[in-house]
Amino acid sequence: MTQLFRRTLNAFIATAVACLLLSPVAFSKPDRQVPEGVSELSFKKDVLMLTTGLGEFPISIELAQYPDQHQRGLMYVQSMDQDEGMLFVFNREEPRSFWMRNTPLPLDILYIDSDGFIVSWAANTTPFSLQALPSNAPAQFVLELNAGSIDHFGIEVGDQISHPGN
């Protein structure tokens, strides 16, 4: 199952990139107010499926795939809809740590292993905090959602993300 999921997740990323190049994904753009003198970054958009004990939920995401995107994340974003977030994609599974520098929104940060299973989270983070928020296990993906999403979607360790097309 591990190898199957990795192929599925790799196919998800390849499909997401191909779809993004061929057609726009319809969802609102997070309200990002980048200060003067700070460069804008472009993030590809897609949809992933969050599966919890309460059901399956489509989440519209921006993909942070490159170091400059990882560093920026949701900095300066003023608002997002409940079903929106950002998926950070890393090359390998390892311990991760995030912080809330220049991030005005409180977030729920989900750490996800290479098989797409949630291994830990940081709930209701403090805006603008420089406190490190480490994963409790190695993670290859990190999903940032609005604070309260863990309760709203009934998220638990062991729940899964996937691409709806796979």
**Domain ranges within the chain, ordered by starting residue:** 2-162
Contact 21, 46 (CB under 8 A): no
pTM equals: 0.80
pLDDT digits (tens, 9 = 90+) for 127-139: 999 999 999 999 9
Q: Is the dihedral of CA 73, 93, 5, 54 positive or negative?
A: negative
Contact 144, 86 (CB under 8 A): yes
pLDDT digits (tens, 9 = 90+) for 9-61: 655 554 554 444 334 444 445 566 666 666 678 899 999 999 999 999 999 99
- Give the β-pairing of 139-146 and 133-134: unpaired
Mean pLDDT of 103-109: 97
Q: Where are the beta strands (DSSP E) in 34-105?
A: 44-52, 55-64, 77-79, 84-94, 97-98
pLDDT level of residue 160 (50, 70, 90 thresholds): very high
Mean pLDDT of 155-163: 96
Residue 130 burial (C-beta neighbours within 10 Å; 0-12, 13-18, 19+) = exposed
Widest CA span in the chain: 48
In this structure, CATH architecture of domain 2-162: Sandwich (2.60)
Contact 25, 60 (CB under 8 A): yes
pLDDT digits (tens, 9 = 90+) for 48-68: 999 999 999 999 999 999 999
> What percent of the chain lies above the pLDDT cut of 70?
75
pLDDT of residue 157: 98
